[in-house]
Structure 1
Amino acid sequence: MITENIKSLFIRDLNKLKLEIEAYQTEEVIWKIDKNIANSTGNLALHLVGNLSHFVGAILGNSGYIRNRELEFSLKDVPRVELIQQIEKVTETVTLTLENISAEELEKDFPGDPLGYKMTTGYFLIHLFGHLSYHLGQINYHRRMLDE
């Protein structure tokens, strides 16, 4: 039950991420930064895809994904269609991975200490969902402020 709920929330917000990217009137603004806005929507989207592809796909789902976190913030001008494809792919990855995680596995320790301390897989998935939601809010704000 809890795994299904977590999966549903990830799918919901990844679909919202896709809608935010699609909502930009001008593709170039996806990569714009301004004043105290340090990260563009494009880089935040790449970061979210990389984060979930790594922690959910590679670590929990054994997908073979290799993360390059530095590129998540240094790549620029990735076409909107490619960003959307990456979001769709990570949505599939998250869905398939979470469909194969049991309630018992949620109670096991998450491999490694990504936050600097031991935690259950369930706890870390909730953390990852919060991380997604946090950046999704930033992206929504970015779009409303800069996409005129």
Structure 2
Amino acid sequence: MKKLFIAALLFVGMVSFAQDATTTTSKPQRERLTPEQRNEKHLKKLTTELNLTATQQTQVGKLLADRSAKAEKYMEARKARKDSNAKPTAEEKAALKKEMMDEKAANDAQMKSILNADQYKKWTAIQEENKDKFKEKMKDKKSNQ
């Protein structure tokens, strides 16, 4: 009787752990948006937050599309490098980082030329807020691992 009781407890314990593991690891799946849908969503958000005019909307839309195309190109290159298991050298990393910083500076300059002073100030504040949110998310992610 004692052995049967212990076996039943072990079985119930294992089943309950198995159920807990499946419920905690599954994340709600976010819908995958195409680059055009992401750009449109981002443009709508910027339009409401910055009160963009129609001409500003078209200019910012073009800028978002260009930026998205460049990001897609970088992601393809990174995926190709990852598939070939080729680690970038320190010089390649430095060159890529410089290129990314140049792209960011060019993007900021274009946004500054499109937006007026108040809108640009709001946009930079939004950028900083998003950067802080990203840092917090990464910190949480590292602490959970």
For the superposition of Structure 1 and Structure 2, which TM-score range results when normalised by the shorter chain?
0.3 to 0.5
**Relative contact order, CA 8 A, sep 6+: which one is greater?**
1
TM-score, length basis structure 1: 0.36
Q: TM-score, normalised by structure 2?
A: 0.37
